[in-house]
Amino acid sequence: MTESQSPLHLTCRNLRRSKGLTQSDLAREVGCTQSAISMYEAGRAESLAEEKVRILLDILEVDINDISLPETDEGKRAESTLKYCPVDECPSNVPYVTRSQLFFKPMMIEVTVGESTLCSFCGEPLEERCPNGSCGAELREGSFCWSCCTPYVTSTRATGRNPERWADAQRARIRELRELTETRRRGPSRIPRLPG
């Protein structure tokens, strides 16, 4: 199999090596993480957005007209996108503590692309991209951007010396609010009418 006939990810890996570039070198030039390059070269096309693949091909001097780009998750989800509320104290964001640091797991909501959406808990407009202005990657489930590792939600308040205590109290509040929401969704229970 010649270079032009091999899968694109293998062609890119071989060209990167022949140019003496490390994955980290290439990632810096492309504007992504080393792990994204590693995953892409391992055959996981979804690890790089199509725009980043085009930059990568340009850097490696691959003629874009001679290839067809593999379909990525981004292309498959053209009709819908994920959004989340950026407000740290919103009940849609569940706080947790790792290594004494406070993080938030946002509730991702799938909506139609281009649809203006407000948070049903606090009324804030929902975010649809990584909050890091220089990244702007499409959202995925989780607490951090898959491309630049920026947290989707950042804490705007001091939690004192014990972030675990604050996170526990916030989770209890969230549970209570979500239970109220669930009850409302189910509607009132039917109470049988008494004869008479």
Mean pLDDT, to the nearest integer, of 44-69?
80
Residue 51 has pLDDT above 60, yes or no: yes
What is the per-residue pLDDT across 24-49, written as a single tens digit (0 to 9) for each?
Answer: 889 899 999 888 888 888 888 788 88
Q: What is the pLDDT of residue 114?
A: 77
Residue where one domain finishes, among candidates 46, 74, 102: 74
How much of the chain, in percent, has pLDDT values that exceed 90? 27
Q: Say if 176 falls within a structural domain.
A: yes
Are the C-beta atoms of 104 and 93 separated by less than 8 Å?
yes
Q: What is the pLDDT of residue 6?
A: 54
Q: What is the pLDDT of residue 2?
A: 40
- Give yes or no: residues 90 and 157 share one domain: yes
Q: Say if 2 falls within a structural domain.
A: no
Domain that holds residue 29: 8-74
Q: Say if 191 falls within a structural domain.
A: no
Residue where one domain finishes, among candidates 74, 89, 109: 74
Residue 74 has pLDDT above 50, yes or no: no
Residue 23 has pLDDT above 90, yes or no: no
What is the per-residue pLDDT across 143-165, written as a single tens digit (0 to 9) for each?
Answer: 999 899 999 999 887 777 788 99
Lowest mean pLDDT among 3-7, 48-52, 143-147: 3-7
Q: Say if 70 falls within a structural domain.
A: yes
Are the C-beta atoms of 60 and 19 separated by less than 8 Å?
yes
- Give yes or no: residues 40 and 118 share one domain: no
Q: Say if 1 falls within a structural domain.
A: no
- Give yes or no: residues 107 and 154 share one domain: yes
- Whole-model pTM over 0.85: no
- Give yes or no: residues 128 and 172 share one domain: yes
Residue 106 has pLDDT above 70, yes or no: yes
In whole angstroms, give the CA distance from residue 75 to residue 73.
Answer: 5
Q: Say if 109 falls within a structural domain.
A: yes
Q: Say if 23 falls within a structural domain.
A: yes
- Give yes or no: residues 172 and 104 share one domain: yes
Q: Which residue has the tokens 């004869």?
A: 195
What confidence category does residue 184 fall into, taking pLDDT thresholds of 50, 70 and 90? Answer: low
In whole angstroms, give the CA distance from residue 82 to residue 128.
Answer: 6
Residue where one domain finishes, among candidates 57, 74, 91: 74
- Give yes or no: residues 68 and 38 share one domain: yes
> Which of 96, 79, 81, 99 is closest to 155 using CA atoms?
96
Q: Say if 3 falls within a structural domain.
A: no
- Give yes or no: residues 161 and 177 share one domain: yes
Are the C-beta atoms of 175 and 107 separated by less than 8 Å?
no
- Give yes or no: residues 169 and 134 share one domain: yes
Mean pLDDT, to the nearest integer, of 132-141?
88
Q: Which residues contact 169 (CB under 8 A, 6 or more apart)?
A: none
Highest mean pLDDT among 6-20, 37-51, 121-135, 182-196 belongs to: 121-135
How many domains does the chain divide into?
2
> Which of 116, 177, 110 is closest to 138 using CA atoms?
110
CATH code of 24's domain: 1.10.260.40
- Give yes or no: residues 96 and 31 share one domain: no
